Amino acid sequence: MPIKIYLAGPDVFLADARGVGAQKLEICREFGFEGLFPLDNDADVGADHVKIFRANCSLMRLADIGVCNLTPFRGPSADPGTVFELGFLFALNKPVFGYSGSATDYIQRVPAVVIPAGEPDARPWDPNGHAVENFGLGDNLMIVQAIEDSGGSIAVVQEKAGPAGGESLAAFEAFRACLEMIRERVSRGRR
């Protein structure tokens, strides 16, 4: 029986979400896994947010592993729904892996970070006067540490620009790299 992988990410918001989901499910099969794509666009749940939430939570409970697309979405960080799913999977004690099509650190993606002049160890601040994490991580420390503490890792592959500029949100190269990490981890565990 193949390992079931829940595919969290903002992919459901892409214009061709069903097509991207089908491609990722096929890639999972190529690696010997069974992908579980969120049901946001499934005819059975329609546009009912309660049904979507409950259906996705059911899929996460069925999964053996979570794989989260952490490519920045609508800002410098990962999609908030994806981050919720990551936390949900973590709370279920499931291994969580991530991937991102952006190789820049979080601190580099936060607009107009200000570090006070003459203070090399000073904490960076955004234009609104809010402190910005500067741990050299790809995203917020809670996201990265949850993945690491669950036994997972994050695959980062700088993706070519998508149609609207910026990174390709589907991040297929990073997705493949993430599945390769999982396959290696699983094969090491079977030895």
Q: Distance (Å, rounded) from C-alpha 186 to C-alpha 128?
A: 45
Residue keyed to tokens 């006067």: 129
Q: Which pairs from 38-44 meet CB under 8 Å and 24+ separation?
A: 38/6, 38/7, 38/8, 38/12, 38/85, 40/12, 41/12, 41/17
Single pTM value for the model: 0.91
The mean pLDDT of the chain is 90
Range from 10-19, 131-140, 165-174 carrying the lowest mean pLDDT: 165-174
pLDDT band at residue 45 using 50, 70 and 90 as cut-offs: low
Residue 68: predicted pLDDT: 98
In whole angstroms, give the CA distance from residue 138 to residue 144. Answer: 8
* Averaged pLDDT, 4-14: 95
Spatial CA neighbour of 34 closest among 143, 182, 174, 169: 182
Q: Mean pLDDT across the stretch 132-161? A: 94
**Other CB atoms closer than 10 Å to residue 175's CB: what's the count?**
27
Question: What's the mean pLDDT in 125-134?
Answer: 88
pLDDT confidence of residue 172: 96
Q: Which domains does the chain have, with CATH numbers?
A: 4-102+138-190 (3.40.50.450)
Nearest to 83 by CA among 131, 39, 141: 141
Query: 59: which residues sit within 8 A by CB, 6+ positions away?
Result: 6, 36, 38, 39
Two tokens, residue 166: 């910026």
